[in-house]
Amino acid sequence: MAEHVVIIGSGPAGWSAAVYAARANLRPLVFEGTVHPDMIPLGQLAFTTEVENYPGFPAGNIRAFVESAVASDRHYNLPPPPKGHESHYAIQGAELVELIKQQAINFGTRVVPDDVVDIDISCCPFRIISGSNPVVEAHAVIVATGARANYLGLPSEEKFKNKGVSACAVCDGALPGFRNKPLAVIGGGDSAVEEASYLTKFGSIVYMVHRRDQLRASKIMQQRALTNPKIEMVWNSQVDECLGDKWLTGIRLKNSQTGATRELAVSGMFVAIGHTPNTAFLHEKLETNDKGYLKLTRPFRTWTSVEGIFAAGDVADDYYRQAITSAGTGCMAALDAERWLVEQGL
């Protein structure tokens, strides 16, 4: 028998959609895969350390609460509390997503730990093809596979992820390891300027390292970067190597014109060179915008170009990209799917 609703993706959007769908007695089935080799189940948020801006979670004795709420057989999935302030800290990304997941499971959500590799949209119900499970039929589908930050692709960059290398200033910028230290932002677009401006609140100086001698960012954003006394431009430079022992202590830069290299001492490197939405498994069956994000076809609704398929979270959002907005659109997608199913008499 076909499922009422299948949710693909296991970040805040997917699990929030599941909470709402489950409470509407739709018994949602969530595909919790990795989506892309650079990703992990629970989405981008699971890469983040402390999340200080998700409403409802001020710093406190979070651990006791998390351990009391999340099923004990998943405690292995919870990162250890941040060293030095174990009993008072802001919730960590993986803890937050585990809590939303638990909430969805508490109301009857079922989980398939597998990646969807294709959806047959030629007829109704949709046929969902995954890596190693039997085909699942579903009347409605919610795509919540998120987006992944682009990185430079250096092995040394990989080594320092969460140890000085980040792709999200809003998530990580205020962490103690970055306070009053020299920081670098890589990129020359609006995101890079936004990240650099944000980081000036915490760092002693913020270097904007750009591979050309002109920013891609909009004029007003360029002005913001160029006139900020705490931002120093480093033109025509590409990161060649991330340096350090346990925590990042610097980056080696290569001049894109002369090839000359030099070292820049920084305690943080924030990569802001764009994001890529995780849509490969859709094989272009859903319409996207010019940046590859799923197109929502009705204002303030989560409908995609295929009726019965809804989208939530970063896979359809190249603008806000926050955990709270993802969770919000997950809720919207579940309500849209529920109402659509009722209209179809399903």
Binding site for ligand NAP (CB under 6 A): 152, 186-192, 194, 211-212, 216, 238, 273-274, 318
Quick one: 38 or 114, whose CB is closer to ligand NAP? 38
CB of 186 to ligand NAP, least distance (A): 6
Quick one: 25 or 223, whose CB is closer to ligand NAP? 223
Q: For this structure, is 115 an active site residue?
A: no
Quick one: 172 or 338, whose CB is closer to ligand NAP? 172
Indicate the residue whose CB is closest to ligand NAP.
189
Helical (H) or strand (E) element with 263: strand 261-265
CA distance 178 to 32: 33
Sheet holding 205-209, edge to edge: 165-166, 268-271, 182-186, 205-209, 231-234
What is the gyration radius of the CA atoms in the chain, in angstroms? 21
Tokens 């001049």 correspond to what residue? Answer: 255
Residue 104 phi, psi dihedral angles, 5° rounding: -65, -40
Catalytic residue among 172, 190, 314, 317: 172
Quick one: 159 or 211, whose CB is closer to ligand NAP? 211
Quick one: 11 or 188, whose CB is closer to ligand NAP? 188
CB of 228 to ligand NAP, least distance (A): 15
* Residue 222 DSSP class: H
Quick one: 128 or 253, whose CB is closer to ligand NAP? 253
CB of 13 to ligand NAP, least distance (A): 19
Cβ neighbours of residue 215 closer than 8 Å, sequence gap 6 or more: 188, 189, 192, 193, 221, 222, 225
Per-residue buried b or exposed e for 81-111, using 16+ beta carbons within 10 Å of the residue's own CB: beeeeeeebbbbbbbbbbbbbbbbbebebeb
Catalytic residue among 115, 168, 242, 336: 168
Cβ neighbours of residue 194 closer than 8 Å, sequence gap 6 or more: 169, 221, 272
Helical (H) or strand (E) element with 98: helix 93-106
Q: For this structure, is 172 an active site residue?
A: yes
Whether residue 45 contacts residue 172, with contact meaning beta carbons closer than 8 Å, is answered with no
Q: For this structure, is 331 an active site residue?
A: no
CB of 170 to ligand NAP, least distance (A): 11
Catalytic residue among 171, 190, 242, 336: 171
CB of 260 to ligand NAP, least distance (A): 17
CB of 216 to ligand NAP, least distance (A): 3
| Closest C-alpha among 65, 4, 15 to residue 312 | 15
CB of 176 to ligand NAP, least distance (A): 26
Calculate ∠ Cα 38-196-205, nearest 5°. 120
Helical (H) or strand (E) element with 20: helix 12-23
Quick one: 162 or 238, whose CB is closer to ligand NAP? 238
> Helix, strand or coil for residue 195?
helix
Active site residues: 168, 171-172
